[in-house]
Structure 1
């Protein structure tokens, strides 16, 4: 059974409004990005594991 894995791209645009980002905001954004990537990878891995069990 062939398995096709495509590239997932999520693009987010953040309006600066001439304000500087503080370190806490940058860390929060990075943490959110990492959480989203981890959840997506976990879902893909779960689907792959289900396919191999069948």
Structure 2
């Protein structure tokens, strides 16, 4: 039985780094990882929509 998602809720937590100092565990390119994640999500959503159209 197919599952239809009518609403999606996304929440995020933003933390201040405290005075602009970089922490030791921060990655070199924090935006690059986010952009990759967004691209993967968009790709998956488009794939789901394509599959629904084929039905």
TM-score when normalising by structure 2: 0.57
Question: What RMSD over aligned residues (CA atoms) do the two structures have, in Å?
Answer: 3.3
Unaligned runs of 5+ in 2: none
> For this pair of structures, how many residues does the alignment match?
50
TM-score when normalising by structure 1: 0.58
Query: After superposition, where does 1:21-40 map in structure 2 within 5 Å?
Result: 21=22, 28-40=29-41
Unaligned runs of 5+ in 1: none
Q: Which runs of 4+ in 1 moved over 3 A?
A: 3-10, 12-15
- The structure where helix makes up a greater share of residues is 1
CA distance in 1 between partners of 2:27 and 2:6 (Å):
30
Q: 1:5 to 1:39 in 2, by over 3 A?
A: farther
Greater RCO structure (CA 8 Å; 6+ sep): 2
